């Protein structure tokens, strides 16, 4: 189960969205009828107009608060379904965990998607004039979701990393969307011989490509991912596309897949210290030295790897295996 927490100014706007049927704005046509069902009221009740009036009346107890609306969305995984009594329990448990059990709130079930999801509209101002805090709301709601997944035997989801303990942050997690993008980029880099050909191939695969100082990709779900997040910055893509030899290109992509920068360094080390001979460290002022070391080291490593592979391909230097074989059979000098 995942959750979203938003604060706002208008009870009218929030309640109207949650209680009305969805309408396609351009054609002004109804998309789905009876998509909303109110499953519970707390400290309030009645029609939409009555709810708006009641919420606004209590709002006047603290007129200085600019964002009295708390809107929580709880979404179950596709295929999961809970009965009405369990959905009501989700609302009540959420109210206790988030601290608005004594405030006005209404729970609304939406049926316009292939997964069950609840909207809880809350008045942050209580009858005692106290305000429900919105501090650490995402941490609180993430902890609440993990408890409800266990209680109602729902699909378990990892909380965002910033809300996990140090031990839990070490657990590797696979982002399927990023893995798919990474695989697609690698495939296109192997086929393409120019950037324009690479971009056309990515667009044909369903990605929108945004090129500026860096490169980003937007998939068919409108999710934007930077190339650097999947190990393919714009500079790296352009360097790989500049390679004419398919063999060198495959070796570089294979190394990048299994290593990122740590194994590239090992690859260079195993090839007779070529990195130490060829590397020319850039000069920086003391102020920029730390920043430069963080940003330029991977680029230097990749450039050295490209140069090494190119020389091996052209026969200018022996491969690691050839060099090792020669050293093993080198006669000893007495």
- Tens of pLDDT along 57-94? 999 999 999 999 999 999 998 888 999 999 999 999 99
Same domain, 162 and 181: no
The pLDDT, as a whole number, for residue 35 is 82
Strand order in the sheet with 117-123: 2-8, 69-75, 117-123, 105-110, 36-42
- CA gap 36, 56 in Å, rounded: 22
- CA gap 189, 177 in Å, rounded: 19
Domain end call among 126, 144, 167? 167
Same domain, 163 and 93: yes
Integer angstrom CA distances of residue 5 from 70, 117, 139, 151, 197? 7, 13, 10, 21, 42
Same domain, 80 and 155: yes
Residue 249, domain member (yes or no): no
Same domain, 27 and 72: yes
- Interior CA angle at 249 toward 318 and 213, to 5°? 125
Domain end call among 110, 142, 167? 167
Residue 64, domain member (yes or no): yes
Same domain, 216 and 197: yes
Q: For the segment 311-329, what is each residue's pLDDT rounded down to a tens digit?
A: 555 555 454 455 555 555 5
Residue 250, domain member (yes or no): no
The pLDDT, as a whole number, for residue 155 is 83
Same domain, 19 and 99: yes
The pLDDT, as a whole number, for residue 248 is 80
Residue 254, domain member (yes or no): no
Residue 299, domain member (yes or no): yes
The whole domain housing 277 covers: 264-327
Two structure tokens written together for 110: 């939406």
Give start and end residues of each alpha helix (H) in the chain.
Answer: 11-19, 48-59, 84-98, 137-151, 166-169, 176-191, 195-204, 234-241, 246-259, 261-270, 274-278, 286-314, 320-328
Same domain, 182 and 299: no
The pLDDT, as a whole number, for residue 111 is 86
Residue 209, domain member (yes or no): yes
The number of folded domains in the chain is 3
Quote the pTM value.
Answer: 0.52
Residues 6+ positions from 14 with CB-CB distance below 8 Å:
8, 69, 71, 121
Same domain, 52 and 163: yes
The pLDDT, as a whole number, for residue 308 is 56
Same domain, 123 and 209: no
Same domain, 119 and 224: no
Question: For residue 66, what is the domain's CATH number?
Answer: 3.30.930.30
In the chain, which stretches have pLDDT less than 70? Answer: 22-33, 158-174, 254-334
Same domain, 36 and 115: yes
Same domain, 51 and 189: no
Residue 332, domain member (yes or no): no
The pLDDT, as a whole number, for residue 243 is 87
Residue 79, domain member (yes or no): yes
């Amino acid at each position: 189960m995942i959750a979203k927490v938003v604060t706002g100014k208008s009870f009218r706007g929030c309640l109207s969205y949650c209680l009305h049927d969805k309408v396609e704005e351009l054609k002004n046509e109804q998309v789905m009828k009876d998509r909303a069902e109110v499953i519970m009221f707390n400290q309030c009740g009645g029609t939409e107009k009555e709810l708006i009036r009641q919420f606004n009346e209590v709002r006047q107890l603290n007129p200085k608060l600019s964002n009295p609306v708390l809107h929580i969305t709880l979404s179950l995984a596709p295929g999961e379904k809970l009965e009405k009594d369990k959905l009501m329990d989700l609302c009540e448990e959420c109210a206790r965990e988030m601290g608005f059990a004594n405030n006005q709130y209404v729970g609304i079930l939406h049926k316009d998607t292939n997964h069950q999801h609840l909207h809880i509209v809350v008045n942050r101002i209580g009858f005692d004039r106290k305000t429900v805090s919105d501090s650490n709301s995402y941490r609180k709601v993430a902890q609440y979701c993990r408890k409800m997944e266990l209680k109602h035997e729902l699909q378990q989801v990892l909380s965002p990393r910033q809300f996990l303990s140090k031990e839990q942050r070490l657990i590797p997690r696979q982002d399927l969307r990023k893995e798919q993008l990474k695989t697609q980029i690698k495939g296109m880099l192997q086929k393409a011989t120019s950037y324009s050909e690479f971009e056309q191939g990515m667009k044909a695969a369903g990605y929108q490509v945004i090129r500026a100082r860096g490169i980003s990709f937007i998939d068919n779900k409108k999710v934007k991912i930077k190339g650097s997040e999947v190990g393919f910055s714009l500079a790296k893509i352009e360097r790989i596309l500049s390679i004419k030899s398919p063999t060198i290109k495959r070796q570089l992509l294979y190394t990048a897949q299994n290593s990122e920068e740590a194994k590239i360094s090992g690859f260079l080390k195993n090839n007779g210290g070529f990195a130490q001979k060829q590397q020319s460290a850039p000069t920086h002022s003391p102020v920029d030295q730390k920043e430069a070391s963080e940003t330029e080291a991977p680029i230097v490593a990749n450039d050295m790897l490209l140069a090494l592979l190119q020389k091996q391909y052209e026969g200018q230097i022996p491969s690691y295996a050839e060099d090792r074989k020669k050293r093993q059979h080198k006669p000893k000098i007495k």
